[in-house]
Amino acid sequence: MFKDISALFKRNILLYFRHKKTVVMSFFSVFMMLMIYILFLGSQHVATIEHTLERYNVVAVESDLSWLVNCWVLGGLLSIVPFTAARAVLGQLVTDHEQKIIRDFKSSPLRMERYPIALILASTLVGMLMAIAVMLVVCTYIIITSKHMFPLLVILQVIAIVGAHSFMSACVMSLPVSRMRTNQDYSTLCTVVDMLIGFVNCVYIPIGILPTGVQSFLRFLPFNQATELLRHTICKAPMQAVFANVAIEGMQYYESYEGVSTKFGPWTVHYWVIIAHMLLWAVVFFALFVRSFSKKDDQIG
């Protein structure tokens, strides 16, 4: 069993990295978003924080403001990389069906129920690797511009969250991908997903701008919760620096408005509830994916 899964897992990883265009496209939207923030939206975000601080007659150090804004952006970027990377690896399923490669697997000693497991594991690992690569690049930028480094504990916590998020993203995306019959259908799905994920995760704008009902709906989704958990972990130290001389209500307002913590009214959702929620979605969608794959497999016969 483990030998078959290992072989399929290795195959999926190698196929992903063999197609350099696919790897580049996994990064493209992320770095386009980063450039938009650097060139346009960063100053607006700083102005929002300064406006909050003015209520308390506090002026923050410019480097601390830059540190906080860049960390907020990093949390958003890390929330979409696992999703885009996972759906790129899952595209191999569509190719295998369209090119009839799946028939070769069926005629081999391989047990087909191991195919979905290997695909999900490969998607999860690629999502983690791509997220870590983005984190290294953005952290280098933060060190250069803000002169701040992340403690090892924070880095390990972020990697753990990214791992859970990558697994959930792979499982959730596996179901719609398994329904695609051609690579053209798959490309259309990717376009729609890439457009929606930035909005769902509130990567472009603070969640506080949206109507209350929309905020509650988005905050129920595990993708948005993962974003807020990442931002809470990454932004904790810079928030303490920026809001050091501000009443606790000021920081709480910022956390709620900017989506740095998951709140439903006065209640804050703890990190272990978010992780459990993410894993629950992963298990449910993986079970649905296996069922969908089995039906498709039976039709091939």
- Give the model's pLDDT for residue 11: 86
**Residues 296 and 289: beta-carbon distance below 8 Å:** no
- Give the model's pLDDT for residue 163: 92
- Give the model's pLDDT for residue 166: 93
CA angle 115, 116, 121 (to 5 degrees): 100
Q: Counting Cβ atoms within 10 Å, is residue 15 exposed (0-12), middle (13-18) or buried (19+)?
A: middle
Length of the chain: 301
- Give the model's pLDDT for residue 160: 92
Q: Chunk the chain into consecutive blocks of 10 residues (it has 301) and report each block's average pLDDT, rounded to whole numbers.
A: 77 82 70 69 73 76 82 86 85 82 67 82 91 86 81 90 93 88 84 81 81 87 90 88 80 83 74 90 92 68 48
- Give the model's pLDDT for residue 243: 83
- Give the model's pLDDT for residue 105: 65
Q: Domains of the chain: which residue ranges?
A: 2-295
